[in-house]
Structure 1
Protein backbone atom coordinates (compact mmCIF):
# COMPACT_ATOMS: atom_id res chain seq x y z
CA UNK A 1 0.00 0.00 0.00
CA UNK A 2 2.55 2.61 1.09
CA UNK A 3 5.86 2.86 2.91
CA UNK A 4 6.01 4.15 6.46
CA UNK A 5 9.28 5.81 7.46
CA UNK A 6 9.94 6.48 11.13
CA UNK A 7 13.34 7.36 12.61
CA UNK A 8 15.28 6.07 9.59
CA UNK A 9 13.39 2.78 9.63
CA UNK A 10 11.24 1.93 6.65
CA UNK A 11 8.46 -0.59 6.76
CA UNK A 12 6.05 -1.61 4.03
CA UNK A 13 2.52 -1.00 5.29
CA UNK A 14 -0.03 -3.41 3.87
CA UNK A 15 -3.44 -4.61 4.95
CA UNK A 16 -1.81 -7.71 6.45
CA UNK A 17 0.33 -5.78 8.95
CA UNK A 18 -2.07 -2.92 9.64
CA UNK A 19 -3.34 -3.13 13.24
CA UNK A 20 -6.99 -4.06 13.69
CA UNK A 21 -7.80 -0.75 15.36
CA UNK A 22 -6.49 1.22 12.37
CA UNK A 23 -8.41 -1.08 10.02
CA UNK A 24 -11.52 -0.22 12.03
CA UNK A 25 -10.87 3.51 11.59
CA UNK A 26 -10.40 3.05 7.83
CA UNK A 27 -13.61 1.02 7.44
CA UNK A 28 -15.67 3.37 9.63
CA UNK A 29 -14.46 6.47 7.80
CA UNK A 30 -15.09 4.81 4.43
CA UNK A 31 -18.65 3.89 5.42
CA UNK A 32 -19.32 7.45 6.59
CA UNK A 33 -17.99 9.00 3.38
CA UNK A 34 -19.77 6.48 1.14
CA UNK A 35 -23.01 6.95 3.08
CA UNK A 36 -22.91 10.72 2.63
CA UNK A 37 -22.05 10.48 -1.07
CA UNK A 38 -24.84 7.97 -1.73
CA UNK A 39 -27.23 10.01 0.41
CA UNK A 40 -26.52 13.13 -1.62
CA UNK A 41 -26.58 11.59 -5.10
CA UNK A 42 -28.84 8.53 -4.84
CA UNK A 43 -31.31 8.58 -1.95
CA UNK A 44 -31.54 10.29 1.40
CA UNK A 45 -32.10 6.86 2.97
CA UNK A 46 -28.37 6.22 2.63
CA UNK A 47 -27.83 8.83 5.37
CA UNK A 48 -28.71 6.02 7.78
CA UNK A 49 -25.31 4.41 7.13
CA UNK A 50 -23.25 7.20 8.77
CA UNK A 51 -25.70 7.19 11.70
CA UNK A 52 -25.18 3.45 12.21
CA UNK A 53 -21.41 3.93 12.10
CA UNK A 54 -21.64 6.82 14.56
CA UNK A 55 -23.70 4.62 16.87
CA UNK A 56 -21.05 1.91 16.66
CA UNK A 57 -18.31 4.41 17.47
CA UNK A 58 -20.34 5.69 20.40
CA UNK A 59 -20.84 2.12 21.63
CA UNK A 60 -17.13 1.37 21.29
CA UNK A 61 -16.10 4.54 23.08
CA UNK A 62 -18.60 4.14 25.90
CA UNK A 63 -18.47 0.43 26.65
CA UNK A 64 -15.28 -0.74 24.95
CA UNK A 65 -17.25 -3.15 22.76
CA UNK A 66 -16.92 -2.78 19.00
CA UNK A 67 -18.62 -5.34 16.74
CA UNK A 68 -16.63 -4.12 13.72
CA UNK A 69 -13.34 -5.05 15.41
CA UNK A 70 -14.67 -8.54 16.06
CA UNK A 71 -15.69 -8.86 12.39
CA UNK A 72 -12.33 -7.58 11.14
CA UNK A 73 -10.42 -9.98 13.41
CA UNK A 74 -12.14 -12.90 11.65
CA UNK A 75 -11.09 -11.74 8.19
CA UNK A 76 -8.53 -13.97 6.41
CA UNK A 77 -5.82 -11.28 6.25
CA UNK A 78 -5.86 -11.01 10.08
CA UNK A 79 -5.28 -14.70 10.73
Structure 2
Protein backbone atom coordinates (compact mmCIF):
# COMPACT_ATOMS: atom_id res chain seq x y z
CA UNK A 1 0.00 0.00 0.00
CA UNK A 2 1.45 3.37 -0.99
CA UNK A 3 1.82 6.41 1.25
CA UNK A 4 -1.06 8.19 -0.49
CA UNK A 5 -3.52 5.39 0.15
CA UNK A 6 -2.47 5.19 3.80
CA UNK A 7 -2.83 8.96 4.23
CA UNK A 8 -6.30 8.94 2.68
CA UNK A 9 -7.38 5.95 4.78
CA UNK A 10 -6.11 7.47 8.03
CA UNK A 11 -7.65 10.87 7.26
CA UNK A 12 -10.99 9.28 6.43
CA UNK A 13 -10.92 7.17 9.58
CA UNK A 14 -10.05 10.21 11.73
CA UNK A 15 -12.89 12.24 10.23
CA UNK A 16 -15.46 9.50 10.77
CA UNK A 17 -14.17 8.82 14.29
CA UNK A 18 -14.25 12.49 15.27
CA UNK A 19 -17.78 12.88 13.90
CA UNK A 20 -18.93 9.90 15.95
CA UNK A 21 -17.21 11.30 19.04
CA UNK A 22 -18.77 14.71 18.42
CA UNK A 23 -22.20 13.14 18.24
CA UNK A 24 -21.91 10.91 21.30
CA UNK A 25 -19.34 12.65 23.54
CA UNK A 26 -18.78 16.34 22.89
CA UNK A 27 -19.20 18.73 19.96
CA UNK A 28 -15.65 19.94 20.62
CA UNK A 29 -14.42 16.92 18.65
CA UNK A 30 -15.53 18.80 15.53
CA UNK A 31 -12.37 20.87 15.96
CA UNK A 32 -10.41 17.70 15.25
CA UNK A 33 -12.48 17.16 12.10
CA UNK A 34 -11.68 20.73 11.03
CA UNK A 35 -7.97 20.17 11.71
CA UNK A 36 -7.86 17.03 9.55
CA UNK A 37 -9.76 18.77 6.75
CA UNK A 38 -7.49 21.82 6.88
CA UNK A 39 -4.41 19.61 6.80
CA UNK A 40 -5.73 17.77 3.74
CA UNK A 41 -6.52 21.08 2.06
CA UNK A 42 -3.10 22.61 2.64
CA UNK A 43 -1.29 19.42 1.60
CA UNK A 44 -3.09 19.54 -1.74
CA UNK A 45 -1.36 22.86 -2.48
CA UNK A 46 1.96 22.57 -0.66
CA UNK A 47 2.68 18.85 -0.84
CA UNK A 48 3.58 18.87 2.87
CA UNK A 49 1.92 16.16 4.93
CA UNK A 50 3.26 15.22 8.38
CA UNK A 51 1.90 11.66 8.16
CA UNK A 52 3.58 11.20 4.76
CA UNK A 53 6.93 12.23 6.26
CA UNK A 54 6.50 9.73 9.10
CA UNK A 55 5.56 6.95 6.68
CA UNK A 56 8.58 7.72 4.47
CA UNK A 57 10.88 7.40 7.50
CA UNK A 58 9.22 4.06 8.30
CA UNK A 59 10.17 2.85 4.82
CA UNK A 60 6.81 2.89 3.03
CA UNK A 61 6.84 3.29 -0.74
CA UNK A 62 5.94 6.70 -2.05
CA UNK A 63 3.47 7.18 -4.86
CA UNK A 64 3.30 10.13 -7.26
CA UNK A 65 1.69 12.65 -4.87
CA UNK A 66 4.17 12.65 -1.96
**How high is the TM-score relative to the length of structure 2?**
0.81
The structure that has the greater radius of gyration is: 1
Q: Could you say which structure has the higher helix fraction? A: 2
Structure 1 residues without counterparts, runs of 5 or longer = 1-17
The RMSD of aligned alpha carbons is 1.7
Structure 2 residues without counterparts, runs of 5 or longer = 62-66
Q: Greater RCO between the two (CA within 8 Å, min separation 6)?
A: 2
Count of matched residue pairs: 61
**How high is the TM-score relative to the length of structure 1?**
0.69
